[in-house]
Amino acid sequence: MNETVKKGGISVQTEHIFPVIKKWLYSEKDIFLREIVSNAADAVTKLRRLSSLGQYDDNGETYRVDVTLDRDAGTLTVSDNGIGMTEDEVDRYICQIALSGALDFIQKYEGDNQNSGIIGHFGLGFYSSFMVSETVEIITKSYTDAPAVHWVCSEAGSYEMTAGEREGHGTTVIMHISDEEKEYLDKFKIEGILDKYCSFMPVEIYFTDLADAKEKKKEKKKKGEEDAPKPVNDTTPLWLKSPSDCTPEEYKEFYRKVFRDYREPLFWIHINADYPLNFRGILYFPKITNEYESIEGQVKLYYNQVFVADNIKEVIPEYLLMLKGVLDCPELPLNVSRSYLQNNTYVSKVSSHIVKKVADKLNNLCNTEREEYEKVWGDIRTFVEYACMRDRKFYDRVKDSLLLELTGGTFTTVKDYLEAAKEKHENKIYYTSDRALQAQYITLFESEGIQVAVFDKPLDTQYLAQIETYDTDVKYLRIDADVAGALKGDQTSAEDPALKDLFVKVSGDEKLKVEFAALKDEKVPLLLTVSEESRRMEEMMKLYAMSGMGAMGAFPTEATLTVNTASPLIAKLGAMEGEKQEKTASYLYRLALLSQRKLTAEELKQFLADGYGILDLL
């Protein structure tokens, strides 16, 4: 290169490229450092490739990228010992190709005030440095040993290119931080950006704060210690390894490091998808402390170990967003937009593959690690139920691994429950939504050898309704909805019109349905039930704030009172007369009501009055 100065104007074709770049290039300014550092890592990767092909002899050279902060000079520098550039390459890649990309950028995004979905644009990585700089310098020397080049450009877009001085091959980018962006001269700010965006880049990255380094060097010299700097990144992240080479402790340590979560994950899924998908990653099912904790997870998207973004919802299905993890998708360019992700076939295939791997993991745990699976089922149940509701294919994949928690604290699959129940109640699954409130019903069922499942989460009503549409032969019934059908002995109990009228009167509900049956348990005189369909409808109306049921706790129209004709108390009640009979019937009715739900204030008042009245008549 001769000693003449080559000058030019980056913004010769449009006067406002740089102002728009400074304002709109990225939705987060911090990304500029990711772009400059990843360019440096790419330069090293290219030289390594040439070396592996025998086109360059690196003599065992150690490759690295250095990020240096000089607060006194007001500069942030990124330097590498990679492939470097010749004068022609600087002119081509920096002054021409990037300019073309800049023009495309202006045409597409000028005046776009939304820009919230933009992750990157048009290969303009280098020019992102002007988002925070008033002047940017490049000092570069090609691995071919061509003369070094010094390129300087102002924020106005005018540049000069002269001969440079550099001993070894590689590129140094010096960013003179503008007065408005002095926050990027803060050590902790830079450390935070490197930690977020560069933690797993494939080339070792070293960060030095010159002012801080001088003080540390003095202290170490006094103590006679040697300075041994450590890279800020891990060049071989866990997702690049084979799952068979990773230990449980390594998975847990990686989880703690990436997500700053002190709680151990429940389990994880290591994905290593080859052609044609070509992506890798590790997904974790996190531990949720309580049901009110946010269930939104965090899946970090990488491109060849370069961080792109958090929680890209287009890659992970919405119903699996509670997952935490990392995905490295080299088929996705860094320059990617939300609309690109939404309409990309590769992304949809990645999403489908993730769903399959999650389903496979659940099935494997259920079939081969049943004890561990039962331990975590309480934590993942809501997530799995929601996924089944949203995706029929997912349900079909995992249906044989869906567990039912039983009131006794044990677990069974739906298939095994139905098999055990064939003789007593074929294709019916009885469940409780409140073990304390429905304790009497649970006792009745268990005394007959009928297993009771537990569905006590807010989502359960909708979940059961949905899966009944998948398997129309199976019916889920709450234990207070079908008591007589499950427990009665004599099917031909005669109706007692007088007792029927009496219970309708004391209930205050003219629509109350009264039936008579001889239950196997003689100790229970009355059982109050609500049909499954009616109760679900009421719960759905309440859920959507549409309920017009009146007072809290009032029953829908399909409440049924079963009078146990095998009970001695009912026999005694039939023999009573007058006030004593009415008060006793009222008291028994409200006892039945109490086993169903909490009493309203008026019902409790009447319940106490009846009790005192009965005692007074003794």
DSSP string, 101-170: HHHHHHHHHTT-S--TTB---TT-TGGGGGGTEEEEEEEEE-TT-PPPEEEEEETTSEEEEEE---SSSE
Q: What is the percent of the chain where pLDDT is above 70?
A: 81
CATH, residue 331: 3.30.230.80
DSSP string of 413-441? EHHHHHHHTHHHHTTEEEEES-TTTTHHH
Residues 141 and 244 in one domain: no
Q: In whole angstroms, what is the distance from residue 73 CA to residue 300 CA?
A: 35
Residues 78 and 49 in one domain: yes
**Cα-based angle 206, 207, 213 (whole degrees, multiple of 5):** 120
Q: Is residue 196 part of a domain?
A: yes
Residues 219 and 282 in one domain: no
Last residue of a domain, one of 380, 404, 439: 380
Q: How far is CA 596 from CA 92, 95, 113, 132, 559, in A?
A: 80, 78, 57, 67, 11
Residues 192 and 48 in one domain: yes
Q: In whole angstroms, what is the distance from residue 455 CA to residue 432 CA?
A: 6
Evaluate if residue 61 carries a pLDDT over 60: yes
Q: Mean pLDDT, to the nearest integer, of 439-462?
A: 87
Q: E strands of 434-558, at which residues? A: 453-454, 475-478, 488-490, 513-519, 526-530
Evaluate if residue 552 carries a pLDDT over 80: no
Evaluate if residue 101 carries a pLDDT over 70: no
Q: Which of 357, 397, 200 is nearest to 272 (CA)?
A: 357
Q: Mean pLDDT, to the nearest integer, of 278-293?
A: 79
Predicted confidence band of residue 453 (pLDDT cuts 50, 70, 90): very high
Determine how β-strand 475-478 pairs with β-strand 428-432: parallel
What are 325's strand-pairing partners?
A: 283, 299
User: What pLDDT is attached to residue 546?
Assistant: 47
Q: Which of 431, 480, 477 is nearest to 457 (CA)?
A: 431
List CB contacts of 478: < 8 A, sequence separation 6 or more. Answer: 430, 431, 432, 433, 438, 532, 535
pTM (2 decimals)?
0.79
Residues 137 and 169 in one domain: yes
Predicted confidence band of residue 108 (pLDDT cuts 50, 70, 90): low
Predicted confidence band of residue 112 (pLDDT cuts 50, 70, 90): very low
Q: Which of 434, 73, 38, 78 is nearest to 199 (CA)?
A: 38
CATH, residue 518: 1.20.120.790
Task: Please give the structure tokens belonging to residue 535.
Answer: 């109760």
Residues 84 and 203 in one domain: yes
User: What pLDDT is attached to residue 139?
Assistant: 97
Q: In whole angstroms, what is the distance from residue 140 CA to residue 91 CA?
A: 12
Q: In whole angstroms, what is the distance from residue 237 CA to residue 269 CA?
A: 15
Q: Is residue 491 part of a domain?
A: no
Helix and strand counts by DSSP (H, E) for the chain: 21, 22
Q: Is residue 260 part of a domain?
A: yes
Tell me which residue has tokens 């597409």: 108
User: What pLDDT is attached to residue 486?
Assistant: 59
Residue 339 in contact with residue 347, Cβ under 8 Å?
no
Residues 11 and 91 in one domain: yes
Residues 298 and 176 in one domain: no
Q: State the average pLDDT for the chain.
A: 83
Q: In whole angstroms, what is the distance from residue 258 CA to residue 262 CA?
A: 11
List CB contacts of 597: < 8 A, sequence separation 6 or more. Answer: 437, 553
Q: Is residue 434 part of a domain?
A: no
* Per-residue DSSP letter, 264: P
CATH, residue 59: 3.30.565.10
Q: Using only the alpha carbons of the chain, give its radius of gyration.
A: 36
CB atoms within 10 A of CB 421: 17
**Where do runs of H (alpha helix) occur along 471-531?**
483-487, 497-507
Residues 136 and 253 in one domain: no
**Cα-based angle 391, 393, 394 (whole degrees, multiple of 5):** 70
The whole domain housing 156 covers 6-223
* Per-residue DSSP letter, 95: I
Task: Please give the structure tokens belonging to residue 72.
Answer: 């006194």
Q: In whole angstroms, what is the distance from residue 332 CA to residue 351 CA?
A: 13
The pLDDT tens digits of the residues spanning 120-161 come to: 333 467 888 988 999 999 999 999 989 999 999 987 778 899
The pLDDT tens digits of the residues spanning 214-258 come to: 777 767 666 656 667 899 999 999 999 999 999 999 999 999 999
Q: In whole angstroms, what is the distance from residue 442 CA to residue 196 CA?
A: 53
Q: Is residue 181 part of a domain?
A: yes
- 317 phi/psi in degrees, rounded to 5: -55, 145
Residue 39 in contact with residue 125, Cβ under 8 Å?
yes
Q: Is residue 429 part of a domain?
A: no
**Cα-based angle 385, 386, 388 (whole degrees, multiple of 5):** 65
Q: In whole angstroms, what is the distance from residue 444 CA to residue 493 CA?
A: 20
Q: Mean pLDDT, to the nearest integer, of 260-283?
A: 90
Residue 325 in contact with residue 282, Cβ under 8 Å?
yes
* DSSP 3-state of 525: coil
Q: Is residue 582 part of a domain?
A: yes
Higher-pLDDT residue of 599 and 272 is 272
Higher-pLDDT residue of 53 and 119 is 53
Q: Mean pLDDT, to the nearest integer, of 497-510?
A: 87
Last residue of a domain, one of 354, 380, 406: 380
Evaluate if residue 372 carries a pLDDT over 90: yes
Residues 210 and 257 in one domain: no
Higher-pLDDT residue of 480 and 17 is 480
Q: Is residue 438 part of a domain?
A: no
Q: Give the end-to-end CA distance of the chain in Å, rounded to a whole number.
A: 118
Tally of domains in the chain: 3
Residue 134 in contact with residue 176, Cβ under 8 Å?
yes
Residue 567 in contact with residue 522, Cβ under 8 Å?
yes
Q: In whole angstroms, what is the distance from residue 130 CA to residue 26 CA?
A: 12
Residues 17 and 40 in one domain: yes
User: What pLDDT is attached to residue 425?
Assistant: 81
- Sheet of strand 475-478, all strands in order from the earlier edge strand to the far edge: 453-454, 428-432, 475-478
Tell me which residue has tokens 């691994």: 401
Residues 175 and 257 in one domain: no
User: What pLDDT is attached to residue 526?
Assistant: 86
Q: Before 229, cis peptide (omega within 30)? A: no
Q: In whole angstroms, what is the distance from residue 509 CA to residue 102 CA?
A: 76
Q: Mean pLDDT, to the nearest integer, of 263-280?
A: 90
Last residue of a domain, one of 223, 254, 279: 223
Q: Which amino acid is at 609?
A: A
Task: Please give the structure tokens belonging to residue 406.
Answer: 């039983």
* Per-residue DSSP letter, 185: G
User: What pLDDT is attached to residue 542?
Assistant: 66
Task: Please give the structure tokens belonging to residue 374.
Answer: 């039962």
Evaluate if residue 283 carries a pLDDT over 70: yes
Residue 185 in contact with residue 69, Cβ under 8 Å?
yes
